[in-house]
A and B are shown apart, each in its own frame.
Chain A
Amino acid sequence: MTTAATAVQDPQLPGDQPVTAASARQVTKAYGAGETRVTALDAVDVDIQRGRFTAIMGPSGSGKSTLMHCLAGLDTVSEGRIWIGDTEITGLKDKQLTRLRRDKIGFIFQAFNLLPTLNALENITLPMDIAGRRPDAAWLDQVVTTVGLADRLKHRPTQLSGGQQQRVAVARALAARPEIIFGDEPTGNLDSRSGAEVLTFLRRSVDELGQTMVMVTHDPVAASYADRVLFLADGVIVDEMHAPTADSVLERMRRFDGKRTS
């Protein structure tokens, strides 16, 4: 948190010891043209620190999901540049983007994270299967143990509870050792206990495994697990908070709502 005094830093150049896992410069995302033009992101600059847990918050329509999709290479930007590690992804072709997602990025979605035809273990190793890589057995073991799924590996997703399914998704994201993991409301569909469980695993993966994590959420409790929270409103980063607590985030959000409605 020492280097993260501001949200903006120079992007890492190749050859340097990278401190940022992903960064965006002047990223604008707009839909439509002319009078119907809607700007979802407006010249956003952001750096995601390596080995940190970053949460992106904001009210509905603030552009937080769009920002994550753009950072993750799922969506294209209208203007600006984005780097994952030292690779610039803006301008990449679908084929290269797919490779990048496969090799460098992990995903945890809100729901429907798993293929119903594959069992838990097969789901976990799927990204590596797709890449044609053998999973590192020791690492896989460690991940599976960390998320507490060792006795559920042969189960199909339909045989698992919602919390267990999300833990499988976390394990899948971790197993391939991506540079960065993006979570899109990963606990949005869970009750508070299961949600807390999953968030604990995400926190541990950052602390113990050194994983970089970016999570979009609207839940102050979820955000409190992060090292740093970025607040988005109307496509612009309006604030950030380090070492947040649920109360401080809630407080900030309230203020923010007040400012918006005023």
Chain B
Amino acid sequence: MLLKTSLRSFFAHKGRMMLSLMAIVLSVAFVSGTLVFSNTATGTFDKLFATTASDISVQPQQDKVTKGSSEPGKLATVPLATAQKIAALPGVKTAVGEVFTPNATLVNPATDKQVGPTSGAPTITGNWVDTPRNSLEITSGHVPQGPGQIVLDADTAKKAGLGLGSALRVITDSGSYDFAISGIATFKTTNPGAALAFVDTATAQRTLLGSNAYTSVEVYGDGSRSNDQLKADALSALGSGYLVKTAQEQKADNAKGVGSFLDFMKYAMLGFAGISLLVGGFLIINTFSMLVAQRTREIGLLRAIGGSRRQVNRSVLVEALILGVLGSTLGLGAGLGLAVLLIQLMKAVGMNLAGASLEIGWSVPVAAYAVGIVITVLAAWIPARRAGRISPMAALRDHGTPAEARANRIRAVVGLVLTLGGAALLLAAASATKAATGGAYLGYGVVLSLIGFVVLGPLLATTVVRLLGAALPKLFGPSGRLAQRNAMRNPRRTGATAAALMIGLALVTGASVFTSSMVSSTSSQIDKSVGADYIVTSNRALLTPAMVTAAKSTAGLAHLTEQKSLPVILTTPDGATTETSVAAVSPTFTTDFLLPVKTGTAESVNTGGISVDETFAAKHHLSVGDKLAIEYSHGRKQSLAIGLITAKGNSLFDGNFFTAIDTVGKAVPASELPSDVAVFGKAADGTDKGKAQALSALQDSLKAYPQLTVKDQAGYKAIIQGQVNSLLYMIYGLLGLAIVVAVLGVVNTLALSVVERTREIGLLRAIGLSRRQLRRMIRLESVVIAVFGALLGTGLGLAWGITAQRVLSGQGLAILTIPTGTIVVILLASALVGLLAALFPAFRAGRMNVLAAIATD
């Protein structure tokens, strides 16, 4: 019986449910869209790897120190003799020697522009081989033959505007090699986003390896033996020193690589979903609270004729359930659309999944309905309980506006305790000596203060809105006064509406305080400690010797400092081992960088010593003169005395171990020394003009290497700023959504308030309030609510951001910068948000028929 009531009531109020529905649809769409997308992507890659993996792959044993990742220098290889031995094994149909490296750079010599992705996805160069399971096929031209021909994948060629016959340069550690494109290869299934270039095997060995060997041997069986048997045979025939992987194992490895990128996407998207859910929850609470308030008399009647509390309670929850089911269903559909959109987006950044069919799986609808229904019913719980408490007397009482909700004392106490607890934790975090404990306090403090503010919101609404609105009557006359009173008449509602906006803005403000402090701190560190005028880095692998030579030959440079990075395992005197890398530098490094000395001397780095940072020294109880046992790759070992402990708090040096290239050279032969990760230059002429001239000369001599960036200090700072900004944009994107949902919340509250106050509006219009004044009244109320939310949000965000800076002040975030511009923009924008949110409700109120409004029951 009550189910029927719920259903009727739901459809009678469907207009009022619209915005709540939108919030649910949005959240569910993000959840299901993300899942569909990642299912599809994972499925596609699984298929790709499954169809292309060889039966077994024989690779050189990985070095203990380098773990095979980002090989510093030379690639480990499988000798030709081994390949022949593998081919002779029983059950092997073919054994194909492959040469592949991710370290080569492709350049279009006509424009000196880099070909292929400049960040993220790899560029892989290797030999063209025919295997039974090629992932690409030549779609125009022919396979590369001889030293001058190269094949490029179709997507990369298209993007770079290259075709058959175009010139393509390959830059490797050993030099630059020019080719002409002889063929274009297309992925048979899916392009995972990488750029691929192929030359013939002899050329690959000569240019990429510098030796007659392979980087791996791919084995295809004749079907007489299982892959596990083949693997066992290979292992016993080859002995140690090789890594043999079955198709299954290769697939798992590859999936892991792609998976980490997809996981990042997935978590970012689920973050969106989480925020929209959180904010949507507030919207639902508000909607149901208002519906219950409007139906007080009706519910009283139900109770009077014998409906139990539980039945009333349940009838509200059933309405929520209907809303949840409807929202989830629509959200699921929208999610599929979103997944298609994401796939298109991925195509734009190079990962082509277009041919793939959407993989939905059972988990997507389950997650969508679970999320949509649980959040709706949870959010409706509080209003439902309130509905259950309505006494039968309510049916008899005179019908007027719903009773003004009074913020109660319990709320005040709980809210204050939470907020004070949060504040105490933030203070504790700010004064914590250890960053780790400070971080933990900060985390709890953020959560606690947020909940505290949400609980306190209605109480704050009364006081803050009174202050905020105090000027309104003066500025806007009767509309202003009515708006101020209206914003204050239901503090719980105002509080909940503003809370949605508050959450988003608190995160934006906190993040922008954090990032602007990061930029200014790093900039000041660069000013303080960088003496070098120029910094040259590569966006691909390393700087080859040829590049370093070219840089060195530049006129107008006083000197050029090289820095190499060697993966090592450090053993400290306390017996602990640390996997890290050592920064090996030229002697001029100490003039290019002012190393912050805690104890010891910076000069010791150049005279056979090694530096450690303060935190590391404290952790392992190290002091100057202690010896570190160092193991480089290929088992080269060395023991170095600590000559310098660098003071902490400078992100340029923290976590680094500096020593001289010459010192490393005593243990590591030149052939195993990696290329440079960066070079630093200083102008001979220290004037601004001299520096500028030397900069353009340096850029000129490195013109042939587009993968390099040559920056002066200002440019370097701009890069850091840019990196920080891209982080910030992501946060802004995330929060833009939160704000959209929050705006929906304000629209929702106002629209429902307008409906609720129909008679009041009719009365006002009857006694002479003009449409314009009426609309202004609603707009002002909206602005007051929005600005109230923004004030709480920015206040909270400032507290968080400042605390975060204090926590990390020892970790390189020494300078607090409060982005006042951003905050002012946020506050102004929130006022604008208020105006926008009021457009529709104000329009509706203005359109109301005066007579009908007065006559409304």
A residues lining the B interface (CB < 8 Å): 69, 74-75, 94-95, 98-99, 101-103, 105-107, 109, 112-113, 115-118, 122, 126-127, 129-132, 158, 172
Contact = CB atoms under 8 A, between A and B. Distances in A.
Contacts of B489: 116-117
B771 A98 contact: yes
Contact of B770 (A74, A95, A105, A158): A95
Interface stretch (B311-319, B447-455, B480-488): B480-488
B482 A115 contact: yes
Contacts of A102: 767-770
Contact of A116 (B401, B764, B766): B401
Contacts of B765: 98
A103 B769 CA distance: 11
B825 to A, nearest CB: 33
Contacts of A107: 763, 766-767
Given A99-B768, A127-B767, A115 B478 contact: no
A222 B528 CA distance: 91
A190 to B, nearest CB: 12
A95 B401 CA distance: 28
B763 A115 contact: yes
B477 A103 contact: no
Contact of A115 (B764, B768, B771, B773): B764
A181 B759 CA distance: 20
B760 interface: yes
A112 B763 CA distance: 8
B854 interface: yes
A95 B767 contact: no
Contacts of A130: 477-478, 764, 767-770, 773
Interface in B753-778: 759-760, 763-771, 773
Contacts of B482: 115, 117-118
B760 A132 contact: no
Given A115-B482, A116-B401, A74 B766 contact: yes
A158 to B, nearest CB: 8
B770 A98 contact: yes
B771 A94 contact: yes
Nearest to B484: A117
B851 interface: yes
A129 B770 CA distance: 12
A131 B486 contact: no
B763 A103 contact: no
Contact of B485 (A75, A105, A117): A117
15 contacts: A98-B771, A101-B768, A102-B770, A109-B763, A109-B854, A112-B400, A116-B400, A117-B489, A118-B481, A118-B482, A126-B478, A130-B478, A130-B773, A132-B477, A158-B400
B89 interface: no
A129 B481 contact: yes
Nearest to B403: A158
B424 interface: no
B850 interface: yes
Contacts of B481: 118, 122, 129
B768 A74 contact: no
Nearest to A116: B401
B768 A131 contact: yes
A75 B715 CA distance: 71
CB-CB nearest 7 A-B residue pairs: A102-B768, A117-B485, A129-B478, A101-B768, A98-B770, A130-B478, A112-B759
A75 B855 CA distance: 13
B768 A127 contact: yes
A158 B401 CA distance: 10
Contact of A99 (B759, B766, B770): B770
A116 B204 CA distance: 85
Contacts of A132: 477
A106 B768 CA distance: 9
* Interface size bracket, B side: 20 to 34
B135 to A, nearest CB: 71
Nearest to A76: B851
A110 to B, nearest CB: 9
A126 B477 contact: no
Contact of A95 (B400, B477, B760, B771): B771
Nearest to B764: A115
A115 B401 CA distance: 10
Contacts of A113: 763
Contacts of A116: 400-401, 404, 489, 760
B402 to A, nearest CB: 10
B851 A69 contact: yes
Contacts of A115: 482, 485, 760, 763-764
A69 B766 CA distance: 10
A201 B625 CA distance: 103
A109 B769 CA distance: 16
Interface string B463-486: 000000000000001100110011
A117 B770 contact: no
Centre residue among B400, B478, B485, B771 by max chain A CB count within 10 A: B478
A118 B759 CA distance: 15
Nearest to B767: A127
Contacts of B485: 115, 117-118
A109 B764 CA distance: 12
Contacts of B760: 112, 115-116
Given A69-B851, A109-B763, A115-B760, A129 B477 contact: yes
Nearest to A184: B854
Contacts of B850: 74
Given A115-B763, A116-B401, A98 B769 contact: yes
A117 B763 contact: no
Contacts of B773: 130
B647 to A, nearest CB: 62
Nearest to A117: B485
Nearest to B762: A112
B232 to A, nearest CB: 85
A69 B488 CA distance: 33
Nearest to A132: B477
A101 B477 contact: no
Given A95-B770, A107-B766, A130-B768, 4 more contacts: A74-B854, A112-B854, A117-B482, A118-B481
A87 to B, nearest CB: 15
A187 to B, nearest CB: 16
A112 B478 CA distance: 19
A186 B481 CA distance: 27
Contacts of B766: 74, 101, 107, 109
B586 to A, nearest CB: 76
Contacts of B477: 129-130, 132
Given A69-B851, A117-B482, A126 B759 contact: no
Contacts of A112: 400, 759-760, 763, 854
B851 A117 contact: no
Interface string B423-441: 0000000000000000000
Interface in B358-407: 400-401, 404
B57 to A, nearest CB: 77
Contacts of A98: 765, 768-771
A115 B478 CA distance: 12
Nearest to B483: A117
Given A116-B401, A116-B489, A172 B767 contact: yes
Nearest to B856: A112
